[in-house]
Structure 1
Amino acid sequence: MGTSTAYGGPGGGTPLVPSWLGGGDGGDAPPNPASPGVGPDGQPPADGAAPPAPPNRPPIPKTADPQRFSGARNSFTRFAGSGGSDRASLGRAVSKYVSTSVSGARQGCTTHGRLSRCLSARLLGFLADAQARGVREALRALDLESLAGRPIAEIFVGLADYICPGAGTVDEGIAREAYIETIVELASEGLTDLTTFTPDQMQTVFELYATHAIEARICNDIGTKAVTMPTDAQAAHRVEQQLRDFIRGGVSDALTRARSETPNLTPERIQVFVDAVYESAFAILQTLGDAEADQ
């Protein structure tokens, strides 16, 4: 939503765990194993010993349930059709997305947010460096010192290729658009001077980015082209805004919890911290969704 360009959603038969996770080679078929008693060259070993065992290969991913997005999609369609008034359907849509579409908070975090989590860590790492050593030094480390002293929006635009390089795949497109949406909201959130950023303001930037990334992922997964939005512009805006606010509430709670558990964030722990926030956010969103659906 927002400036995101939606597609029709992933096919129902797409595996929950992509072949590129866990060291897979992306689809090349493994060679036929050698026959018993035959070496790699097709000849029996000279000493009569058994040939070496073929190397272990990653298992073929299981085909996912082709209907795993239908529950979330149907509930979101009802929510959109209500113009944003059917909060119970919004809650069911988000809850079903986490519990069924992506098989729970941990699986959803692992398979549907890997790139966004990596880029979130990169963004948070830059902000932490800017706070610790100063904006100029943090930019100099990236060979972007010429951006020092520029307005905050210009600095973030200049950082785009470092934070989220490339936009050729769906995941890269989602990550980059989430970053652009974050830049658009900086001024409205009162984030105008990077040189005076506080830890709370750093949290706000991270919160904005994670919210937009999760929102875009949900919308693309359930297939916004398959959901009929209200023709009234104000009603359509309410639908978009309520979904975004719902997600941001979950991200904010997860981030607050993570900060209480890791008050001193070191560069070495940034990725672990970000991963924990995303997984906790998915879990909180499911809980909030269930609560909303029961009202």
Structure 2
Amino acid sequence: MGTSSSSGGPGSNTSLVPTFLEPISSDPLPGGEAEPADSGEDGDGEAPGDGLSPAATQAPRPTIQPPPAAGRYTGARTNFTRFASSGGNDRRALRRAVRDYVRSGAGGSHNATRKMGSAREAASGALGVFRGFQRDGVADTLARLNLGNLVGRPTREVFIGLTDIICRDGGPIDEGIARDAWLETCVDLEQIGIDNLDALTAEQIRDVFLAFIAHAIEARLFQEIGVNGFEVADLNAIQAFEAQFRSYVERDVRDSFASDFSSIAELSDAEIRTIVDQTYQNAWELFETWGDQS
């Protein structure tokens, strides 16, 4: 995760949500839509909404973001450096660091979610593939994705083969966060216990999904507050620090999750994207709450 190196990270004068992160793609998710899209016509062959004024049918204008506050990362980076320098022992500093990142660095949980960029699309893409597995079967879904050569291959090999399908293009750093999070999730598959994709359960889908969300948040935090001028030279300290950091993020993501994948085969693309955004936002909100209790 790059904990032994340092870098400048984003400056305080950078936009709260860089323009390349918005808007999120509206392309169909991989794996196939659950239901055919509405043709937009009623029984008379006219599109609903005919007769409305142009102003009523136009998309709302994007919210104008306030200018970023000077030094908005200072508190988060100071506390994160204190946590890292303690070898992972100062958990109070970690809780405050992440809280300050959400509240001051990102400008709130909503903006923190929007900043996830490609990681939001990748999480949605993964659920789209799982939806296809559940509804149409693994072989048919992989064939639809032009990955028929992966049918019957080991689970981790299939997941790695899905990387380019799930992790679409984004900004260089943003795309790298999504890809790293997905590959970290592939490493977790043995621990999750998936040995037969044709018998994939809702609980296993949840565990893969939450592992990805947690790894994406970890990578985003390292990029924005965890790589500004601290170095941990001792290997044992690095391992202890990473273990505590990962444990904190993973516990928050799991504790904040409130969705159910028992009917994933029936979810639409819009419903999947809503679940993804709500999962990120719930996690960021819980980080704020825990930070206030430190």
TM-score, normalised to structure 1, is 0.79
Letter in 2 for 1:94: V
* Of 96, 100, 103, the match for 1:96: 100
Answering whether residue 74 of structure 2 is matched by residue 70 of structure 1, we say yes
Matched position secondary structure for 1:146: helix
Letter in 2 for 1:267: S
Deviation string, structure 1 residues 189-241 (Cα, Å, up to 9, x no partner): 22232222100000011111111100000110114142232x22122111111
Q: Which has more radius of gyration?
A: 1
Answering whether residue 269 of structure 2 is matched by residue 280 of structure 1, we say no
Confirm or deny: 8 A CA contact 2:192 2:208 kept in the other structure: no
Distance 2:112 2:205 in 1: 25
Q: 2:56 corresponds to which residue?
A: none
* Of 79, 82, 91, the match for 2:83: 79
User: How far off its partner does 1:137 sit?
Assistant: 1.1
Letter in 2 for 1:280: N
Letter in 2 for 1:73: R
* Of 222, 225, 229, the match for 1:226: 229
Listed as ranges, the gaps of 5+ residues in structure 1 are 24-56
Number of equivalent positions: 255
User: What does 1:14-93 align with in structure 2 at a 5 Å threshold?
Assistant: 14-20=14-20, 62-93=66-97
Distance 1:5 1:165 in 2: 27
Letter in 2 for 1:288: W
Answering whether residue 207 of structure 2 is matched by residue 207 of structure 1, we say no
Confirm or deny: 8 A CA contact 2:118 2:167 kept in the other structure: no
Matched position secondary structure for 2:19: coil
Q: 2:181 corresponds to which residue?
A: 178
User: How far off its partner does 1:288 sit?
Assistant: 2.1
Q: 1:54 corresponds to which residue?
A: none
User: What does 1:79-228 align with in structure 2 at a 5 Å threshold?
Assistant: 79-110=83-114, 112-166=115-169, 169-228=172-231
Confirm or deny: 8 A CA contact 1:109 1:278 kept in the other structure: yes
Letter in 2 for 1:163: I
Listed as ranges, the gaps of 5+ residues in structure 2 are 24-60
Matched position secondary structure for 2:145: coil
TM-score, normalised to structure 2, is 0.79
Identify if the C-alpha distance between structure 1 residues 159 and 7 changes in structure 2 by more than 3 Å, giving closer, same or farther.
farther
Residue identity over aligned pairs, in percent, reads 39
Deviation string, structure 1 residues 263-293 (Cα, Å, up to 9, x no partner): 64413311111111111111012212333x2
Distance 1:68 1:251 in 2: 24
Distance 1:184 1:149 in 2: 19
Identify if the C-alpha distance between structure 1 residues 151 and 20 changes in structure 2 by more than 3 Å, giving closer, same or farther.
closer
Distance 2:168 2:22 in 1: 23
Confirm or deny: 8 A CA contact 2:7 2:229 kept in the other structure: no
